[in-house]
Structure 1
Amino acid sequence: MAGTYGDLAANGSFTSGTTSWWSGDPAMITLVAPGTGLEASATTDAANLWDAPFGQDNIVLRQGVLYTLSFTARASQASTSLRAQVGLGVDPWTAAIDKTVVLDTVDTHFVLQFTSSLATTAGQLSFQMGQATEVTVYLTEVRLTCSTVREGFYVDPDSNAQKWVNNNPTDERAPKILKSIASRPGARWFGNWNTDIQADVNAYVTAAAAVGKMPILAAYNMYWRDNGGESSGGAIDPAAYRTWIDAFAAGIGNRPAIVIVEPDSLAQAEYLPTETARADRYALVTYAAQALAARPLVRAYLDGANATWVQPAEMAARLIKGGIAAVKTFAVGVANFDATDISLGYGNQVVAALANQGVTGAKFVIDTARNGNGAMDDNGQHVDYCNPAGRRLGVPSSIGVGGAEYLLWLKFPGDSDGQCGVAPADTPAGTFSPYLAVRLIDGW
């Protein structure tokens, strides 16, 4: 998919030697790739940065699109300048980004973002390093990537709905479920069912990258998850959770992703039986927030409950204890059924309450997967939270409205809330039910 997300810089880890990379005058610069990255060496004849260039051509750039250039570099001497450029590879050589960084003798990872002013198939990525002295720059992990909401959200090809369609192609419900649910982008949930969380997250983000889409992930492995309720499980102790979330974040790496952090964890925190358990919960959410905030292209949203559960001021206090200062973002109505306008009102109230408590500029997203009929029964009362009747699919994942950053399908439609409500037998939490899916499609 030309010009969208992927590693637009070919051979950016130099595992194939210097393939795809060119260099300038060999009297001024030489390139070797011994298997641990690139070693670019400039001679004293390279008096100016541009005298010792290297790079690659035929980069596709699109005007108005956000790109990220990232790389890890060090030099044989401190205070070495390295100029990074992405721009037109032919005359007039217009630059979309032109940034000079200073290298030390230890590896530093650089992340440079820019919005392209160019629309071209003749783009060029280049580095320049002439210092008027002999110097070697060690470079690896070069990535030129693009994945923004403008490109669209990733459709999980292995969602429970898609798996059911694949396994039941002749079922009369299959076309309806494929069209209305399985083909829509939503969140992939990760938890204790993933035997290698780093590898599984990496595979999912990589798959999204390959087709130029933004992946949506939910981290759902909290110690004492769901306080022992329908979705109980999770990490066996706090130390195991910290290890797990570190691996989760490592799986994303320096690539774009939206992450919903531990749904219900903060909303349920005060229901835990001891002060130690409550303190552990807030500490673990804070740890997750900080681990994900350390990833430069991750947008992580903490659990922000829903409009009929926790009062806005109290939710703001819990978010602060859960480390929202690290991310400034939270999610409203995850796996719930409140109408979008109700969730918008609540989200904006939480934002105001956070500001009153010292955390300004917070943003939120809303789970719209199953809120199409709002959340009121025939008597005007809010419906039950667990597989209630009369619900309908909500607005598919998209840019937000009314103060919300995004409207997202987070609890994937058709996946049961538990053995409750209108769920048929043998549909515990997380199990896909075509019966529940069709009810959401048709609104009954």
Structure 2
Amino acid sequence: MRWITRGLLAAALAFGVVVPTTAPGANAATELLTNGNFSSGTTGWWGSDNTPISNDAGQLKAIVPGGTANKWDTMLGQKVPAFPIKKSHRYVLSFDARASADRAVRTTVQLNQPPYTPNIDRTFTVSTTSQRFAFAFTATQEIANSELTFQMGGVAGYTLWLDNVSLVDNYGNVAGNPVSLTSGFYVDPKSNPKDWVDKNPGDDANKINAAIASKPMARWFGNWNSNIADAVYKFVGPADTADKLPVLVAYNIPGRDACGEHSGGGAGSKDAYKAWIETFAAAIGTRPAVVIVEPDSIADRECMTETEWADRKEMLTFALQQFKELAPNTWTYLDAANTGWGRSIGEQKLAGWLSEVGVANAHGFSVNVSNYYYTSESITYANALNSYLPASKPFVVDTSRNGAGSLNGEWCNPSGRKLGATAQTGGGAEMLLWVKVPGDSDGDCGISDRPAGQFGPELALALIP
């Protein structure tokens, strides 16, 4: 990624201030399955005659025979009582799965009698490690009597385990306030700084733990996550259990860092990105969260052709819509670059680009992500953007490394920078957040030769006042 100088009350008090804007909401998502966590054994679930099922320590266990020809020759699922699927409604099917060997499994939500018309038909691969899977779909058929199936035949015999199976109808979702639904920001127990601290005990680790690893910060998600549903779920799930608010960064747009040289990459195609971001939103589901959407994706506009920009607009518009439809208790903030970009490109032009990609469908926008400008400078910049938007939007400021301000506009591991204010609501913005992980490199540049995204204890220590 390149960041160049170019151009409510009780819960909210846990954050330190009262949150003024959106009132708490309760989403209207409807669960269509029963006993999806198998707390009542296998009640409500069936297996084909050749596929015995049982409850194994709170999971559904299926013994899958070998020697069958077709996926549907051995099945399990739920169809009694039958549930309705409504045409044009948005649904999320999610579950945990593992097996005794790697196997391809087919899942459907379909009519529960011939001709078994499906509204979703997906094949996924299970492994010996439990993974979360999430599939979002829009129903194209109105089917009053639907069933869920897992079709497992056509391969060598194995054992399959399922848990936490859910099918949610998202029609009628009401946007909720994730701040009022939680009791403070989530401290990532597996952040890069925390991982280094745990593996390298000593004085430096103690300093990094006290100043950085023990503080709330965002976790970034991109094409390095082999299963995005699993990665997101295993971050937001524990945060939800702890009643804390997680901050996530979606960073996988194709042609990422179009104006830079250290953080290129992203999804391989427009369609691949759409599938990825849809799954990202589906994996969050109704859990409270904050998502920073695609840092640098707007400011990169000046380095893109009209065709590239048209594709990027389409993808960002799609992304914001997915969170709106599938993650009702998530606040999304579309990235809006930083003060340096504002000075070189112009706030009016940047605001126009934000409008083009549908910032109206985001809760707000983010500024100063991975950069160093003082909070006061960033607030001035954000307010200038708002003056050009059709309707003013809330904004958040990345304060992870802005304690000493920007050094002549240098963005790539400059020396002498310091930690800024820790995560909080207010502070002149809707929130001040540590979006960039302190100690993570910007690339092989400045005071570090580490690749972008790699944690360096020397970088972390340099940020500690």
Cα distance, 1:175 vs structure 2? 0.2
Give the match for residue 371 of structure 2: 336
Partner of 1:189: 220
Could you say which residue in structure 2 is the equivalent of 1:366? 397
Q: Could you tell me which residue of structure 2 aligns to residue 250 of structure 1?
A: 282
| Aligned partner (choices 17, 36, 55) of residue 15 of structure 1 | 36
Contact 2:332 2:364 in 1 (8 A): yes
- Residue 438 in structure 1 maps to residue 461 in structure 2: yes
| Aligned residue in 2 for 1:284 | 315
**Does the C-alpha gap of structure 1 residues 270 and 149 become closer, same or farther in structure 2, counting only changes over 3 Å?**
farther
Aligned partner of 2:461: which letter? Answer: V
**Closer, same or farther in 2 for the Cα pair 1:38/1:259, shift >3 Å?**
farther
- 1:148, CA displacement in angstroms? 3.6
Kept in 2, the 8 Å contact 1:18–1:38? The answer is no
Larger Rg, first or second structure (1 or 2): 1
2:206 is equivalent to residue 175 of structure 1: yes
| 1:34 is aligned to 2:55 | no
Which residue, 254, 271, 284 being the options, matches 1:239?
271
Partner Cα separation in structure 2 for residue 346 and residue 16 of structure 1: 48
The residue that corresponds to 1:400 in the other structure is: 426
Mapping 1:392-431, distance limit 5 Å: 392-402=418-428, 404-423=429-448, 425=449, 427-431=450-454
TM-score after normalising by structure 1: 0.66
Q: Counterpart of 1:319?
A: 354
Structure 2 partner of 1:161:
193
Q: Does structure 1 residue 264 correspond to structure 2 residue 287? A: no
Q: Which has the higher contact order (CA 8 A, sep 6+)?
A: 2
1:296-319 deviation digits (Å, cap 9, x = unpaired): 111001011101113211111010
Per the alignment, in what secondary structure is the counterpart of residue 379 of structure 2?
A: helix
1:72-83 matches, within 5 Å, as none
1:77-111 deviation per Cα after TM superposition (whole angstroms, max 9, x unaligned): xxxxxxxxxxxxxxxxxxxxxxxxxxx96966555
Aligned partner of residue 429 in structure 1, secondary structure: coil
Task: Give the aligned residue type for 1:412.
Answer: V
Instruction: Indicate the SS of the match to 2:315.
Output: helix
Give the counterpart of 2:382 among 347, 350, 353: 347
Residue pair 2:219, 2:249 contacting (<8 A) in 1 also: yes
**Among residues 226, 231, 238, which one is paired with 1:200 in the alignment?**
231
> What residue identity is the alignment partner of 2:436?
K
Does the CA-based 8 Å contact 1:147-1:212 persist in structure 2? no
Q: Is the 8 A contact 1:270 1:278 kept in 2?
A: no
Query: Equivalent residue for 1:136?
Result: none
Equivalent residue pairs, number: 318
Identity rate, percent: 43
Contact 1:15-1:37 within 8 A present in 2 as well: no
Structure 2: distance between partners of 1:256 and 1:178: 26
Residues 223-272 of structure 1 show CA distances to partners (whole Å, capped at 9, x for unaligned) of: 01111620111111111111110111111112111000000011112212
Query: 1 CA distance for matches of 2:333 and 2:309?
Result: 20
Q: 1:176 to 1:207 in 2, by over 3 A?
A: same
The answer on 1:212 being equivalent to 2:243 is yes
Distance 1:429 1:282 in 2: 26
Q: TM-score if structure 2 supplies the norm length?
A: 0.63
The AA in structure 1 aligned to 2:423 is: S
Q: Which runs of 4+ in 1 moved over 3 A?
A: 15-19, 35-40, 104-115, 146-150
Q: Distance in 1 between matches of 2:328 and 2:233?
A: 16
Shift of 1:361: 3.5
Question: CA-to-partner distance for each residue in 1:325-365, whole Å, 9 max, x for gaps?
Answer: 211410000000000000011111111110xxx2x131110
1:196 and 1:352, CA in 2 relative to 1: closer, same or farther beyond 3 A? same
Q: Distance in 1 between matches of 2:282 and 2:187?
A: 22
Structure 1 pair 231–255 and aligned structure 2 pair: CA distance change class (3 A): same
Q: Quote how far apart the aligned CAs of 1:280 are.
A: 1.1
CA distance in structure 1 between the partners assigned to 2:297 and 2:358 by the alignment: 13
Distance 1:16 1:224, change over 3 A: closer
Between the aligned partners of 2:194 and 2:284, the Cα distance in structure 1 is: 24
Assess if the C-alpha contact under 8 Å between 1:14 and 1:38 holds in 2: no
The answer (yes or no) to whether the contact 1:153–1:185 under 8 Å persists in 2 is yes
Cα RMSD (Å) of the superposition? 3.0
* Aligned partner of residue 309 in structure 1, secondary structure: helix
